[in-house]
Amino acid sequence: MITPKSMAYFTEDGKTPDGHLRLAFHKSNLFNEQETEKIKSSVTVLERFFTNLNRLDGVRAAYQEFKDELKNLDRNNPDHLPTIDRRFRAFILEWKLFLDHFQRYIENGAQTGCWKTATDAEKREYLDAFQRYFNDVKDPRKQSDAFNLAAVIRNHIQHAYDAIDHTDGKKVYISREKVSSGPKVTASQKAALGKQPEFIDLETVADNALVELEKIHEQLLNFMVDSEVAEAAAVLTEAYSKIVVAGIKSDRWVICGFGEMELEDKETGKTLTQIQAEDENYIPFELETGMVKSNFTVGTLMSYIPLKWTAYSSFASLLVNLWKKGVWKDIQEKYFTNGTPSHP
């Protein structure tokens, strides 16, 4: 019988008559209630980082779409050049959106919204330090020519200008003179533009802009690494290792048992009172109603906390590596008043 705060997993068990994958549900006895609660808390800590970890996905996707379109450049096709133009504009706007997202993330409280024991002063201390750090990371005066070039071209395009001013049939270019004539070109941007040829290769701009944003991304992740994150990463790494050693080959794990439970056969509409399942040793047991309030389909638990072990494992490894590098120590010493945050 499934008890509150217990863990379970699914394995593939053939297919349904209509061709859908059938999943078998197994109770797990690998982790006790205290260990399960610790895993749940660690998942909560890391989940808030997933959005930030994947924040570059939109930029990378737009970049690849531009590159793919450029490979098939056809100057004789009057419709193709505008398509490439749109692809570059989409990329450079996504590039800026990445920075805007992080600004909004800080303004909305960053991860302090998940801090249950921190005082308002501790939260404010963290957010002020994060803002100072973010301002420094993207400061045009401290950034490379590639960053400033991307920024000034983005500003130019934002004012309803096309990206492409010239093509030689192999590459596409933007006019340095047109970009330089903008009303809000900073000194750092002017310096970067002054090193460019008359017509600037947009593919090179995109290549270098993405590299610079990846550097900024890692710097921001370094700031968000703290003792709480390192501990959560260690807990999940250890738990996943325990699963691997046990020989359980499933990435579909859940934490279940938080409320009242109903089981419903979606094909017949009937509510089931119990379901037969097996633990990891394939010993039958009955999964009874009365624990999680939700709907189920046959063989699939619909209300639970999912555990993405493959993702957690790779992400935890990244965070542990960032922690070991110790860059976060230098950041804390520079940006926090007492050389270290009060929380966590």
Q: Give the tens place of pLDDT for each residue, 295-331.
A: 333 333 334 677 878 777 777 777 777 777 777 778 8
Q: Give the tens place of pLDDT for each residue, 72-122.
A: 888 777 788 999 999 999 999 999 999 999 999 999 998 887 777 889 998
Q: Give the tens place of pLDDT for each residue, 236-253.
A: 889 999 999 999 888 788
Give yes or no: residues 158 and 115 share one domain: yes
Give yes or no: residues 92 and 202 share one domain: yes
Helix (H, G, I), strand (E, B) or coil at 43: helix
Give yes or no: residues 202 and 68 share one domain: yes
| Residue-number span of the structural domain to which 278 is assigned | 6-49+228-335
Separation CA 117–CA 136 (nearest Å)? 29
Note the pLDDT of residue 282. Answer: 43
Helix (H, G, I), strand (E, B) or coil at 211: helix
Give yes or no: residues 84 and 44 share one domain: no
**Of 184, 217, 250, at which residue does a domain stop?**
217
Instruction: Confirm whether 313 is domain-assigned.
Output: yes
Helical segments of the chain, H only: 33-53, 57-71, 80-107, 120-137, 145-158, 176-180, 187-193, 202-224, 227-245, 309-325, 327-335
Provide the number of structural domains found in the chain: 2
Instruction: Confirm whether 322 is domain-assigned.
Output: yes
**Of 217, 240, 266, at which residue does a domain stop?**
217
